[in-house]
Amino acid sequence: MHEMSICDGILKSAVEAAQAEGATRINRVEVTFGELTQIVADALEFAFEVLRKDTIAEEATLGITILEGRSRCLDCSVEFRHDRYEVRCPECGSYLCSLVQGRELRIDSIDVD
């Protein structure tokens, strides 16, 4: 379950950022990830609940935004949704595509006291 190590990284970054601002408590952490990262939202939430214990984020909630996988065709410029198994233009059938979104993983905001 790679969500544990991913969540560990998210929490460490959030705690570090909060403490740098002099915060003593994290109320909420908002993250965004792309569906091509293979992260499972439920597993990420579970990892967050386990890992937040004994940190200043102990009572924090986790907000998750998921971005679908999208690419743009380099031959006909159509933008389309796809999974991680096949990236092929639905319009012209080209495999020459450039990823628009779907592999990101970032913290959007941290709400602290």
Question: Where do contacts with Zn ion occur on this chain (CB under 5 A)?
Answer: 73, 75-76, 78, 89, 91-92, 94
The distance of closest approach from Cβ of residue 35 to Zn ion in the complex, given in angstroms and rounded to an integer, is 21
Which tokens go with 85? 């198994």
The distance of closest approach from Cβ of residue 85 to Zn ion in the complex, given in angstroms and rounded to an integer, is 18
**How far does the chain reach from its first CA to its final CA, in angstroms?**
31
Distance of alpha carbon 43 from alpha carbon 45, whole angstroms: 5
The distance of closest approach from Cβ of residue 57 to Zn ion in the complex, given in angstroms and rounded to an integer, is 44
**Type of residue at 111:** D
Which residue's CB is nearer to Zn ion, number 55 or number 94?
94
DSSP designation for 5? H
The distance of closest approach from Cβ of residue 76 to Zn ion in the complex, given in angstroms and rounded to an integer, is 3
Distance of alpha carbon 51 from alpha carbon 9, whole angstroms: 10
Which residue's CB is nearer to Zn ion, number 1 or number 76?
76
Distance of CA 112 to the CA centre of its chain: 20
Which residue's CB is nearer to Zn ion, number 46 or number 80?
80
Which residue's CB is nearer to Zn ion, number 83 or number 91?
91
